[in-house]
């Protein structure tokens, strides 16, 4: 067993709960709701050089992590809305590594921070209003198979904390 932390998974890999309680749902919604503020705080005061520093060797820069959260969470919110309004829609994945290399990877982080604030507010509002039946609605991901709103909500709560931790752990290691 290695004593060196795995910088790819600073909070550990996602472990889906065997069953999801109402309290689990509330905790996931709260995490989703609070993530934009935590992300904004994680990048507060960083200069351009720091924003363009990879969180680990071979990893994305802080700026790319912020933009990835925007890309990923916009996609997740769209899938959620489709699951709630269509009968088991089929959803495609996307090449997140290719997205992270598009020319807009140099955009100001503020743009994605602002997008995430509005997106997460709507996402939390929608999740708080779901009925038990709506939590069981789902979609079929072309690469991962079927999933439900109930199953992906804790995944995206973890995803939120996972990427914020990439930034906060880098700051701690670098003394920023």
DSSP H or E run through 74: helix 62-85
User: Do strands 138-141 and 145-148 pair parallel, antiparallel, or not at all (unpaired)?
Assistant: antiparallel
Q: Residue 135 in contact with residue 14, Cβ under 8 Å? A: no
Spatial distance between the Cα atoms of 12 and 104, rounded to a whole number of angstroms: 29
Residue 167 sits at φ, ψ, to 5 deg, of -75, -45
Q: What is the mean pLDDT of the chain?
A: 96
> Which whole number is the average pLDDT over 136-162?
97
Reported as a single tens digit per residue, the pLDDT across 109-131 is 999 999 999 999 999 999 999 99
Q: Which residues, in sequence order, are CB contacts of 132 under 8 Å at separation 6+?
A: none
Confidence at 5, pLDDT banded by 50, 70, 90: confident
Domain boundaries, the chain: 22-174
pLDDT of 1 strictly over 80: no
Q: Which CATH superfamily is domain 22-174 in?
A: dinb family like domain (1.20.120.450)
Confidence at 2, pLDDT banded by 50, 70, 90: low
Spatial distance between the Cα atoms of 152 and 171, rounded to a whole number of angstroms: 29
Reported as a single tens digit per residue, the pLDDT across 14-41 is 999 999 999 999 999 999 999 999 999 9
């Amino acid at each position: 067993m290695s004593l060196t932390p795995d910088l790819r998974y600073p909070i550990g890999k996602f472990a889906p709960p065997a069953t999801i309680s109402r309290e689990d749902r509330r905790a996931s919604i709260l995490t989703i709701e609070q993530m934009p503020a935590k992300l904004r705080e994680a990048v507060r005061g960083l200069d351009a050089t720091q924003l363009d520093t990879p969180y680990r060797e071979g990893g994305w820069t802080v700026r790319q992590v912020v933009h990835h959260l925007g890309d990923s969470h916009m996609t997740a919110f769209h899938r959620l809305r489709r699951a709630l309004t269509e009968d088991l829609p089929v959803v495609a994945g996307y090449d997140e590594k290719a997205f992270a290399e598009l020319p807009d990877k140099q955009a100001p982080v503020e743009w994605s921070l602002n997008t995430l604030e509005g997106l997460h507010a709507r996402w939390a509002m929608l999740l708080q209003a779901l009925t038990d039946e709506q939590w069981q609605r789902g979609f079929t991901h072309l690469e991962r198979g079927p999933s439900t709103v109930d199953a992906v909500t804790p995944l995206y709560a973890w995803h939120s904390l996972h990427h914020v931790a990439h930034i906060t752990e880098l700051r701690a290691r670098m003394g920023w």
